[in-house]
Amino acid sequence: MHAATKIDEVRNDVIEMAQTSATAQDLMQKMVKLLHERILKYNWVGFYMLEPGAKPPMLVLGAFEGATTPHVRIPLNQGICGAAAASGQTVIVDDVSKDPRYLACSLETKSEIVVPVFAHDRVVGELDIDSHFPAAFTPEHQALVQYCAMLVGKKLEASGQ
């Protein structure tokens, strides 16, 4: 199947998932499973959420699919995860071995994308995807992952969080 078609198909499935999920937590759990299963180069897919009230701010691992990671809690001044949450910007790293910020999760990881999740205009967490393939996150993939993060932010807002 052509890559664009696959991405469109997955986007349609996450839209439906957002409509049918009972809670944001339910949506995040189903979403990581779907993305991990359906897109072969998404080898680790997970959410980190900002711990409410933590000072200094702390990202805490939430729903994920893939290998167990040692990075369960990440402060905002560490890792690619910290950089994305601190800046509120998507961070894409095509070759993690060349980025000094990178916190290793798996030796097989070659590239990574981290997209902030916003609720009520504030960063509340992020969607992190690692790939065993270098430069996996093309603009089409970036758009899909950003769309997924946006759906979770909207679900959090709808549930009053």
Q: Which residues bind ligand SME (CB under 6 A)?
A: 44, 69, 71, 74, 79-81, 102-103, 105, 112, 128, 130
> Nearer to ligand SME by C-beta: 79 or 116?
79
Q: Nearest distance from residue 84's CB to ligand SME, in Å?
A: 8
> Nearer to ligand SME by C-beta: 106 or 146?
106
48 neighbors 86 (Cβ within 8 angstroms): no
Q: Rounded to an integer, what distance in angstroms lies between the CA atom of residue 81 and that of residue 133? A: 19
Q: Nearest distance from residue 115's CB to ligand SME, in Å?
A: 13
Residue 6 has phi, psi (to 5 degrees) of: -60, -45
Q: Rounded to an integer, what distance in angstroms lies between the CA atom of residue 19 and that of residue 3? A: 25
> Nearer to ligand SME by C-beta: 25 or 43?
43
Q: Nearest distance from residue 119's CB to ligand SME, in Å?
A: 21
Q: Strand order of the sheet with strand 58-65? A: 73-75, 58-65, 44-50, 122-131, 111-119, 91-93
> Nearer to ligand SME by C-beta: 48 or 118?
48
Q: Nearest distance from residue 40's CB to ligand SME, in Å?
A: 18
Give the nearest residue (CB) to ligand SME: 79
Q: Rounded to an integer, what distance in angstroms lies between the CA atom of residue 146 and that of residue 66? A: 20
